[in-house]
Amino acid sequence: MAQRAPTASKKSPQVSAQVIKDLHERMVRIRLFETEAGKLMEAGKLPGFLHLYVGQEAVAAGVMAALRDDDQITSTHRGHGHAVAKGVGFREMYAELYGRVTGACLGRGGSMHINDLTRGMLGANGIVGAGVPIAVGAAFAARYKGEDNVAVTFFGDGATNIGAWHEGANMAAILGLPVVFVCENNGYAEFTPQSGHMLLTDVADRAAAYGMPSVIVDGMDAVAVHRAAAEAVERARAGAGPMMIEAKTYRYFDHQGVKGLRHPYRSDEEVAEWKARDPIDLLEVRAVADGTATRAELDDVWQRTRDEIADAIAYAEASPLPDPADLLLNVYSG
């Protein structure tokens, strides 16, 4: 069954111009970071795997704009968007993709382990679903210490089929922890459509199995995501326990890499339908139409970001490689 693009909400967004600009900038940053990363991979400059986030920007941007710096997130194999939106620097991220010692993981982790504890980014993760219980633990720690930060865990539609996801959801619910569960439903788990991996139309319906409320949002509409996230986050922060958000979204590139397609698992029409509702376009058109931003302002964001990316890539390329003599660095503490 093909993933259908939700139709745009006609309601005018009830968020401030500042938030709109914030969402826009976060999305542009992700889009350009990822597009350039894809090009670098195609050019053979990056080792390892690359799961690009392009198309899903509204989700990371919308959620992260609702978080404080000390709020914690756990991410997935498709984690760059979350990292960028949470404020992890381009330099550390590209340097990591290049395997340089200046990278976010000192070159030890690569794409799937980018993290930044100073920004509450508790790491991408190579194991589907594994970040879910870790976020539950982060939320536990917050409550234990009497802090009011919350944890957000991102996962795909496919990830909701794995045991750790189920266990993590129930654990958060029974312990009443401040965790927001964000399902980025892009309609596919690798090459398997949602209809091939679960009988439900809405992943959000799974929340009820844990006594957890849930909401479904248009994952191409950053404002819609943001409003839902702000509500869920405030709810969690106030001690009302976990909640789930399902954002219906789409990835533009292949599961891994840029164009590895050898199996027509998605139709051209489907891809086109979703791209026609590109989250950045959508936000820009509305922002210009309602006077929130001028075209020039928006263009300036793109240009500034491009410059920052060029600098970051140059930084990464100029950075030294790790020293094989340090192979055992950080295996243990102390």
Partner 1 sequence: MTTTTEAPAVTPVAAPRKLSYVKAFNEGLAQAMREDENVFVAGEDVAGYGGVFRMFDNLLDEFGPRRMIDTPISEAALVGLGVGAAARGLRPVVDLMFMDFIGVCLDQIVNQAAKMKYMFGGALSVPLTITTASGAGLGAAAQHSQSLEAWLAHVPGLKVVMPSDAYTAKGLTVSAIRDDNPVVIMLNKVLLGSTSEVPEEIYGIPLGQAHTARHGSDVTVIALGRMVGEALAAADELAAEGVEIEVIDPRSVQPLDTETMFASVRRTNRVLVVHEAVTFGGLGAEIAAQIQDAVFDYLDAPVLRIGAPFSPVPFSPVLEKAYVPDRARIAQGCRRLLERS
Ligand X SMILES: Cc1ncc(C[n+]2csc(CCOP(=O)(O)OP(=O)(O)O)c2C)c(N)n1
Q: How far is the CB of 265 from Mg ion (least distance, A)?
A: 12
Minimum CB separation of residue 166 from a copy of itself in Å reads: 4
Measure the CA angle with vertex 50, ends 48 and 52; round to 5°. Answer: 175
Backbone angles phi, psi at 246, to 5 degrees: -105, 120
The two tokens of residue 317 are 């390329």
Closest CA to 128 of 178, 83, 190: 190
C-alpha to C-alpha distance for 81 and 324, rounded to whole angstroms: 30
Residue 79 and residue 191: Cα distance in Å, rounded? 18
The only residue of 45, 87, 106, 126 in contact with ligand X, by rule CB under 6 A: 126
| Distance in Å, CB of 139 to a copy of itself, minimum | 16
| Site membership for ligand X, residue 189 (CB under 6 A) | yes
Number of DSSP helices (H) and strands (E) in the chain, helices first = 11, 7
Q: Which stretch binds partner 1 (CB under 8 A): 11-19, 59-67, 116-124, 270-278?
A: 116-124
Task: Specify whether the CB–CB gap between 302 and 284 falls below 8 A.
Answer: no
Q: According to the binding rule CB under 8 A, does residue 211 interact with a copy of itself?
A: yes
Residue 190 contacts ligand X per CB under 6 A: yes
Whole-number Å distance between alpha carbons of 99 and 108: 7
Say which entry of a copy of itself, Mg ion, ligand X, none residue 164 contacts (CB below 5 to 8 A, set by partner kind). a copy of itself
Of the candidates 1, 43, 117, 199, which one interacts with a copy of itself according to CB under 8 A?
199
Size of the site for ligand X (CB under 6 A): 16
Does 206 sit near a copy of itself (CB under 8 A)?
yes
Tell me which residue has tokens 């959508």: 282
The reply on whether position 1 binds a copy of itself by CB under 8 A is no
Q: Does 174 bind a copy of itself (CB under 8 A)?
A: yes
